[in-house]
Structures are given as C-alpha cells and as structure tokens.
Structure 1
Amino acid sequence: MPVSKRNSDQDSDEGLTNFARPGSPVRSYDGLCGNNIGSVLVTSPNMHVLYEPPLQECRVRLRKDWHFGRDDPLYYPQPFHRRAPHLSVIRLPSPNVDESKDPFAVAWTVPTASHFIPTSTSFCTELGSLQDPLLSQIGDLSDQMIQTLPTGYEGDLYLRTYSAQLVAIVLRLQVVAPMKDLFLRFRCAQRIALELDARIRWLAEYRAKFEDVKTKNPYLPGNSSIMGAFTDDLDVVESLYRSRIPVYYLRPFLRTPVRVENQVPFIKEYSDDPTDPTKSNKIRLHNGVVVDFSDATPSHRVVFTGLPRNPERYLMMAQYINSILEYPSYLGSERPRNSALSHTARSGLSSRGLSIRHSAANASRARQMPYHASKKGIQTHHNSFLPPSSPLMPPCIESWRSALAHLAHHDQSLPPPDGVNRGFVLPPAEMFITTGNPTTATALFRNWLKLREVLIYRLSATMDRYTKKQWRDMLTFDEGNEMRPETRTGKRRLGALSFLKAMMNSTPLDVRIEDLPSAPIFWRSRRLDCDRLPSADTAKEILWELQELNFRQDLAELDRHLDGSGMVSLQRNVLLDGCWTGTRDYVNLEKVSEGFACIDAEGRERYVKALHKLMMTWTGPKPALLLAPFPTDVVDHEGIERELAHYYALSFFEVFGRAASIPYRLH
C-alpha cells in the first residue's frame, strides 16, 4: 500500500505504543492504531488504518473524474458535522462488485468515451446519449432509492431535497447532450444517490445509537464498508464509536499516556508516475479501491479556500455543481429573481394599481385587467387566445382553454411591456397549422424535426426568445429555391439563414447549418418523408410535445419574474418539476396521459397541488384560493384547476403581453 510515515515524529516511534495493552477492551479515546503528524496525534479506536487528516488550508476544485478529491465525502473521510452527520456513513466503493447483483455498482462507475453514443445527426456530431446499460442501471438505482424512502420523509429536508433532485437529474439523462454535459449529470446522479442512501441509513440505523448517551457498549469494530469521519471532539468520538462509524480522533501530541496498540502509516495520496514521484494523484482506500484524484485539463476553478471544518466548504461545492447543471436565466444570473422591473411591469400594466392582498375579503378584487379591451368584437382569425382548429392539433384541456379564451377580447396589437421579451424559447405549435400554406407547413415540420434535439438541448444553455415570425423564417429558410440576395425573397431567406446560424452559435455546439438541407428526419426512430406533411397522428404527437415544452418554459419564466419566496434556484426547480411529469426540458412521450393531460381529475390532483404551492409565493394580487393552503377536503378538483389556470393566463399576459402556452391532451 503506497502510504508514508513522512512528517510523523520519528523520535517517538517506540514510545507511541508504550501504553499498549493487547487483548484488553479498547475505549473510544484509546487507539487501536495511531500515528502523529508533527504535534498532532491521530488515533482510531475502531479501525486498523488511518487516513491522513486535513490539517492545512483547503483549495477545493473539481477534478478530472468529476469529484473533489480529498475534499469529497464520497472518496475521503471528512471532519464530522452535526448538521450533515450522514456524510460519515457514505458507502465505500466495493473492490470486487458484481454489477448483476449489486445495484450500487453503477454508483462508482467512471464514464468513458465508450459509454457515449453519438446521435445520427450529420450536421451536429457532438450530441449523444448514455449507453443504455449504464442509463438503465442508474435509473434502477434511482427507483430503488425512491422506493426505500421512509414514511413521512417529506419532513426531513435532506430526504425531500435529495429524492426530488435524483428523480430530476436521472430524467435529464434522457435528453441528448454533449458528452461532457451527460457525464457531469451522470456523476451528479451518482452523488445524489449515495448521499440519499447515506441519509436513509443514518436515520434508520445510526442516529439512535449516536444519540444514546446512556448505553456503554463493549468494543465493536468500525463498519469498514462506510467512510467514517475525523473529529477533535471527544464527545463525537464516543458517539461515533458507539455507532460503529469509523472515527479518526485528532488531539495534541504531548507524549502523555495515550494507549495506542499499533503505529500504522497514513493512507494518503501517492504518485503513479515513476518519472515524477511528487505528483500525488491517486489514493488507495482501506478496502483496496484506487481513486484517481488527477486534475482536469484545464483545471476547474477553485470554489473554496479555507479550513476544512468550515461548513461553507460543502455549500460551495454543491453550489458549483448546481451552477453547471442549472438552467440558464433569461434575466441573467446577477439579476434578483424577484426583480423590481418585473414587479413594476406587472402592476403598471393594470388598469388599477393594486397591492398584494393578504386577506380573503380583498382577494375577490385582486384580479386585474392588464390591457383595456378592444371596442371591436372578438377577433377569431389568428387570435392567439383561441386554440386553432385543425385535425393536426391535439385537443384542448377545457379549464386551460377557457382561461385563455377569457382574455380573447383584449387588444393584441399593443407592443409588449417595456424591457420584456415576449418571444418563445421554442417555436409555438400553433405556427405549424395557421400558416395556410401546405408547403410552408411541410418546411416547418421538416426543419423542426431536423433541429429538434439541438433546440431542446439549447434550453440548458440559453434562454434567448424569438418571435413567431423569427421562428417561422428560421424554420423555412430552405422553402423553395430562391436564395439570391438581389431578390426580396432571397434576401429574406438569406437573412433567416444567417439568423439561424447566429442562434446556433449561442450554444456550445458546432452546428453545420450548410449540411442541414440534406439531413433526414426522424420521429420516435421512424424515418419520415422530408417533402410531405406528417400523418395526422404523428403531427399531433410532434405538436403536443412542442406545446408541452413551451408551457413548461413559460411557467418557469413567469415564476422567475414573480417568485417572492427567496428560495434558491435549485429548490425552486424542484418545486417547478412537481407541476409536470419529467423535467422542464424533457417530456416522456410514453407518459402523455399524465400531468395536466390526465383525464381523471383526481389523477391531476398532485400537479394541481404543486401549481398551487408554486403560485402561493408569487408577488402581486392573488385570488382567495392562493391565500391559504391547498384545501384538504376538496371535491371540486376541476374548479380549483380552472381558477389556477385563469390566474396563470392572466399573470402571464400582465407580464409578457401575449397569450401563455398551455398544456394540451394528446388523446
């Protein structure tokens, strides 16, 4: 084992074990083994090995294999923290694991290029998916973790957060992405699964023993299959010892009578490069597993500098991971979530300047009319508040349809509120069927299907929005053969092509637009004819997914403007994902009858509850329904959903000045 006695007090080697009593019971403050680094003595009462303690200032950064090296509780013992005690019982990676029998085998797999399957997209070779066995294994582990959650787990912050994060990150592994993005998501899924497992086992197996100060157990060896912790607190030593959690006790080395049975070298980083023995980049854990601590090239930035016991260290590590995984902000990361601009825009568009109501008596007056109604009758042609009638369009959900129709008499010709972009992050579904030109509709479907994976991945990289006209021009740039710059049509198409290239350049992908015209189109692994409209059933599926994604993006963006909860974005994303099946950028086409599309009102209740919980924290006037918790004796599910849908549609119109995207049913 590549360990060393460097820095230990060589003059005291023999004296360190002078007080050994072989065969006698070992107490928590004794040392089954021990060693010192300068003036610090390290002992363990329940392990036969010692890890080198973190005594110096930490410079925490992400490593090549997407972990934090010695600062990572998944791969090295850390100082014990009472606020996160479960980190001490994280499982160690197993050296001889049978993947067919151990569901946790996937939790330590380091993905390589062989696990990445590129898509067949000829004009963008960077996108791909995880190899199916790996994807299935992490999905199975996630399912197992969720199934083992104890009753009432929602009351524990860690269990509530970990479980929601795990479900969301595993779902996001279904979205095609560049290899680097997929591998980071996969490693985060592993991390969350291991920490969730540790929290479940801490509560079920360890907490009671840790807190049971009355029981004095005889010597019990530490559980060598878990990570353990460092501490300089004798009370913590006793509690960890009693719980059979490996403990490494730090105290001053004063040559005082301390019982140490054996002096052992420290487990520490070593070099696997014979030409450079000072390059410490590997560690062999006490069970024989070797972990690579090598830096990434180029190195990730240092996210924390300070002493190892500072709890901010773990917080900064988590925040850095989350910042890489987080959805982009349309408002910019430096802008407050509940911005003054959005609040001003919302209240300024009203015909009356109403403040937030906090009582049911005032709630009935809380709704506002954002625009003065047009004196003309309701315009039915190209009225975005009225669903288009077409055999290609999925059927409406009545409560959501009526919410939009309620606003159909407002003047749609007015410009958007100042400082607000009312565009769409994805092309609006209605655009595909209101064109009136079959050739144009064919081009829209064709180019959407060609660019679909790129544009959906784009949701994790940028929140730039475009108008219907911009989307139409970009997706019909190849309609016809007119591309000469001296003609009006050719100039417009060349401009659209240039605009499309600029949009692709806003992503980290290398998209070769010049190869787009020759690319085939597929839908759910079926190849379609590029020169014909899809069948009615296929078109409905395509438009349903597009409409659902736009609804999720619109609700998320509205929440970003109106959220007054003060929650961090990670917690807010968990709350948002409760409003649908999947994530905001992933729609499972095998579950099209779930979420708000569920026919059964009781089947929609959990999503209605999630939307109610989300809206309760919005700023501005609210209906009475949102001034109290969700009613427990509710029988009128349809009525509650209808009122929330109306509030969503009105709020979106007040902020963005256009019709909100709403959910539809496919069947």
Structure 2
Amino acid sequence: MDVTLIRPLDVFDRENILEIVPLLEPHFGLPDDNAHAAGAPPTLYTGNSTEEKIGAIQKAAIQTPWYHDPFETNFGRDRSPSPSPNPVASSSSLVPHANSSFTKSVTPSRSAAVRQPPPRHNPYSTAGRTKALPSNKGPAKTPRNKFSALMVPEMPPSIASMADALAQVDQGVVPYSTDSSDRRYIFPEPALLVNTPYADRRNKLLHHWMLLADGFIYMLTQHPDPPLLSGQQWRDILEGLITKCGAVDSRVYRRSDSLEDRIRPALEACNLPNLTNFPAPAHEIREFTLAETQEIVWQVAETNFRFEFISLDKRASRRMRLAEVKECFAGHMLVGMPLEMSKLGWASTSLEERHVYIMRTATLMLDWTTKSACPSIIRRVADRRPWSQGEMEALEIAVCQYYTQAFWEYFGRAAVVPLRLDHDLEKEEGEL
C-alpha cells in the first residue's frame, strides 16, 4: 500500500463511517523527484523552503474547495435588504435569510413623531461655556482619506477605473450595516505598509509583516474563525506591538492583551510562541527595495480584494457561489497569488482581456440588491452580443462604480481595490 493512514483508535466508536473510498493522489503535492523515480508516490511538502512553500500554496489554492468567510459572523446581523427576485444559475446554492431588524429600526415610534417643545433659554446657564483646558498633545492627526489612492512611490500603480470609482462613492447613502466588525480587514489595509515618509519605519513595518504573513494565511485557510482586525490593531501588529504592555487597567493593556490572544494561532503557525524579540531590533531589519515593497503591497491588496469581493457578493445576492466569483479573478485563486497575476485579469493593460473578467462580474451583479440603482449598461450583459471598444470601456467604468458603491452600502467603509505591477518580474512566484 502506497499510503499509510494513522488515526486515533479511541474515536472509532464515535464515528459514523458512511463509505470506504479509494485514496486519491493530492494534486497540490510537491513530488520528491528521487523518491518518485524509485516508484514511491509524491508527498505533501513539509520543508522550510519559502519558494517551494509558496508553490504548494498556489497549487492548493486552485485545487482545494475550502473557503471561510471572515465576515460571515456579521451576515445574520447586518441590515440587509430582501433578496433579488432575478433568476440565478442552478449551480448556486441559496443562503438562508437572516432575521433582519432593518424594517423595525427604520419605522419611527409614535412617541418619536411627537414634536417636542424647544428648550427655554437661560441666560445665566454655564452649560457649553466651560473653559477649555490646555493640551500638550499637539494638533490631532488628520485621518487618511481611504477613498483616494495613496500617491507615494512605494504604492503599486492603481487600476484607473477602480481608483476613479472609489473616489466617486456616494457616502451620503446610509449603509445597511452598523456593525463595527464590518469596518475591519482580513489583512492590513495596504497603505498602512508604506504610508510613512521615513524609510527605517517603512522597513520595520514590512519586516514585521513578512515575519507574520504565513501565520495569517494559515488562519485564512485552516482556522475556522479567521480574524477580522481593525486598522489600529493592524497598525500595532506592523509596529511589532503585539505583546501585553502598559498598566493593567489601561486601555493600551486591554488592547494589546486582546490582540495577542486573537492572533495566537497565527503566531504559533509561524513558530513564534516567544514574542520577546518584538518589535524587532533595528540590526535585524533589512532594507526593502522599491520593487520588493510594491510586490508585498500588491499581494496584500489582492488578497483583501478577493475576499471582500466574495463577501460582498454573498450579501448582495444572498447566495453562496464561490466557484462563479473565483472566475472573476485571474488564476481563480484566493491566497498565494503569484506575481504574474499582477499583470492579468483586472490589472491587464489589454481592454479585451479585462473585458472577460468585467463581463463575469457584471453577470453576478444582475442578482445584487442595493440601495443605489444598478447601471443600465450592466443589464445589457444578458444580451450576449459583441461589444464595441467604447461599450467595453463604459461597462468597465459602470462595473467598478457599482462595486465600490455596493461595498460602501454593505460594509460602511472603502473597499480595498486591486492594484497592478508595472516593473519587470524577476521570477514568476512571488512571496508575501
């Protein structure tokens, strides 16, 4: 027998074995050439080579049907509309309706409709006239506008149609969801890695991410409850502030304590049970080239985009159709995308190639329910007729605008949009 199965004997009496099935050779294994030549079967990769490990992840990403929706815990609580009545492909499975409280929350009560008299003016009241205390914290930092592309050399080039659409999102539309978890991210918001004018600090952020990236990939692919972290939590991780710190009763301590507990599986997957070297000493941090920096940021952005796309489609269509959504991505993968994908699909410079993926996305959008009206040109994808160059360009703009607007309506924040790489790639398989 080529394969030996080892299983605990004490669980046999608790298992319900339905069928004895033949063993199948895994398609995502990396064969040992010497062993295979001797007649032995290929084995799953278990070594420490980063390049071979990424190769195994890429193959597994295509073959393995797993998918954990990080936003699923909020899916039943969000204020989502009724599902679209439009027909869908028979291969799509329905998602059960949630007991939404949307209609209850928007219906005013009788007491709320009664006009209250204005408060009487008291000229001797001291309310609102308290003297401001001097502050030594300096001026408050202005938060970055996440609906606008970050214009720094270390940021990969934007896809023009997506960047323009993100900047035009109507934030005046009230989102369906008010859950703070929907404002969180599965990976860092890409700009966090490079949004600093200081090279030493940027190298530190990239260094810490490279140390922990494999662990977060593990939590996405293997852990039953992938973590959703806020922007502040991701900033702490990138700064290396992941151990308990501060006074026990302080907010800083509570935040660091919660963060370390939440990412513990990722730390263990990276063989980092001891965090005494975090933040990393300056002499251990190397300098990242411009190309390396852009490649890391691209893969972080691409992973965020693909997982967010699937979660949005699930909410907007009320269907779980993973296979159809993956067809909208170059390579049909969710994690471990090779760098060559940064020039394909949505990132292609060829309008005709982009149109293939735009059409697939537009077809899915026919089933979406949103507060904003679906652009009429998207409805025309059902005609299945040839498109002129001008029509393809107009459809791409409409799809990008509808996607970014719908994401705002369901998640209440800016979507992470895909980027592209323009520089020549030295090798096909990149590293996170």
**Is 1:327 matched up with 2:76?**
no
**Is 1:619 matched up with 2:382?**
no
**Is 1:173 matched up with 2:60?**
yes
CA contact (8 A) 2:212 2:266 kept: no
CA contact (8 A) 2:244 2:256 kept: no
Aligned to 1:405: 167
| 1:396–1:623 distance in 2 versus 1, CA, 3 Å | same
| Paired letter, 1:118 | G
Query: 1:661 Cα deviation (Å)?
Result: 0.9
| Paired letter, 2:377 | L
CA contact (8 A) 1:477 1:496 kept: no
Aligned to 1:599: 349
State percent identity of aligned pairs. Answer: 22
Work out the CA distance in 2 between the residues paired with 1:406 and 1:120.
44
SS at match of 1:590: helix
| 1:630–1:517 distance in 2 versus 1, CA, 3 Å | farther
Aligned to 1:552: 306
Work out the CA distance in 2 between the residues paired with 1:547 and 1:512.
25
SS at match of 1:517: coil
| 1:560–1:438 distance in 2 versus 1, CA, 3 Å | same
Query: 1:509 Cα deviation (Å)?
Result: 4.3
When Rg is computed on C-alpha atoms for both structures, the one with the higher figure is 1
SS at match of 1:647: helix
Aligned to 2:214: 453
Work out the CA distance in 1 between the residues paired with 2:338 and 2:273.
28
**Is 1:581 matched up with 2:330?**
yes
**Is 1:423 matched up with 2:184?**
yes
Work out the CA distance in 1 between the residues paired with 2:369 and 2:261.
38
**Is 1:477 matched up with 2:240?**
yes
Deviations 1:299-339 (A, max 9, x none): xxxxxxxxxxxxxxxxxxxxxxx6xx333453249957364
Higher relative contact order (CA 8 A, sep 6+): 2
| Paired letter, 2:290 | A
| Paired letter, 2:194 | I
| 1:110–1:427 distance in 2 versus 1, CA, 3 Å | same
| Paired letter, 1:384 | K
Query: Structure 2 length normalisation: TM-score?
Result: 0.64
| Paired letter, 1:625 | I
Deviations 1:25-70 (A, max 9, x none): xxxxxxxxxxxxxxxxxxxxxxxxxxxxxxxxxx9638xxxxx41x
- Select 2:46's aligned residue among 100, 108, 117: 117
Query: 1:497 Cα deviation (Å)?
Result: 6.3
Query: 1:446 Cα deviation (Å)?
Result: 1.1
Work out the CA distance in 2 between the residues paired with 1:533 and 1:119.
23
**Is 1:337 matched up with 2:95?**
yes
| Paired letter, 2:260 | L
| 1:453–1:510 distance in 2 versus 1, CA, 3 Å | closer
CA contact (8 A) 1:382 1:434 kept: no
| 1:468–1:556 distance in 2 versus 1, CA, 3 Å | same
Work out the CA distance in 2 between the residues paired with 1:432 and 1:329.
22
Aligned to 2:144: 382
Aligned to 1:370: none
Query: 1:500 Cα deviation (Å)?
Result: 3.1
Work out the CA distance in 1 between the residues paired with 2:278 and 2:403.
42
CA contact (8 A) 2:244 2:260 kept: no
| Paired letter, 1:632 | R
Query: 1:652 Cα deviation (Å)?
Result: 0.4
SS at match of 2:217: helix
**Structure ranking higher in strand proportion:** 1
Number of residues of Structure 1 aligned to a counterpart in Structure 2: 337
**Is 1:660 matched up with 2:415?**
yes
| 1:484–1:664 distance in 2 versus 1, CA, 3 Å | closer
Query: 1:531 Cα deviation (Å)?
Result: 2.7
Deviations 1:147-187 (A, max 9, x none): xxxxxxxxxxxxxxxxxxxxxxx945269xxxxxxxxx6xx
Work out the CA distance in 1 between the residues paired with 2:143 and 2:267.
36
**Is 1:542 matched up with 2:300?**
no
| 1:173–1:342 distance in 2 versus 1, CA, 3 Å | farther
Work out the CA distance in 2 between the residues paired with 1:531 and 1:493.
26
Give the alignment's Cα RMSD to 1 decimal: 4.5
| Paired letter, 2:298 | W
Aligned to 2:134: none
Aligned to 1:590: 340
| Paired letter, 2:163 | R
Aligned to 2:429: none
SS at match of 1:618: coil
CA contact (8 A) 2:240 2:280 kept: no
Aligned to 2:87: none
Aligned to 2:404: 649
Work out the CA distance in 1 between the residues paired with 2:176 and 2:198.
28
Work out the CA distance in 2 between the residues paired with 1:485 and 1:333.
31
SS at match of 2:274: helix
| 1:477–1:586 distance in 2 versus 1, CA, 3 Å | closer
| 1:60–1:501 distance in 2 versus 1, CA, 3 Å | closer
Query: 1:590 Cα deviation (Å)?
Result: 2.7
Query: 1:533 Cα deviation (Å)?
Result: 4.5
| Paired letter, 2:46 | I
| 1:632–1:416 distance in 2 versus 1, CA, 3 Å | closer
Any gaps of 5 or more consecutive residues in structure 1? 1-58, 63-67, 76-90, 92-98, 122-127, 136-169, 176-184, 189-321, 349-379, 522-527
| 1:612–1:410 distance in 2 versus 1, CA, 3 Å | closer
| 1:530–1:507 distance in 2 versus 1, CA, 3 Å | closer
| 1:484–1:591 distance in 2 versus 1, CA, 3 Å | closer
SS at match of 1:550: helix
Query: Structure 1 length normalisation: TM-score?
Result: 0.43
CA contact (8 A) 1:416 1:422 kept: no
CA contact (8 A) 2:214 2:270 kept: no
Any gaps of 5 or more consecutive residues in structure 2? 1-14, 25-31, 77-93, 107-141, 423-432
**Structure ranking higher in helix proportion:** 2
| Paired letter, 1:464 | P
Aligned to 1:200: none
Query: 1:465 Cα deviation (Å)?
Result: 1.4
**Is 1:634 matched up with 2:392?**
no
**Is 1:395 matched up with 2:157?**
yes
Query: 1:455 Cα deviation (Å)?
Result: 0.9
Deviations 1:83-137 (A, max 9, x none): xxxxxxxx9xxxxxxx99xxxx99x98665xx4323369xxxxxx949x8xx7xx
SS at match of 2:263: helix
Where does 1:70-469 land on structure 2 (aligned, <5 Å)?
72=21, 74=22, 115-119=44-48, 129=53, 171-173=58-60, 325-328=66-69, 330-332=71-73, 337=95, 339-340=97-98, 344=102, 382-407=144-169, 410=171, 417-419=177-179, 421-436=182-197, 438-460=199-221, 461=223, 462-469=225-232
Work out the CA distance in 2 between the residues paired with 1:422 and 1:658.
6
Aligned to 2:265: 505
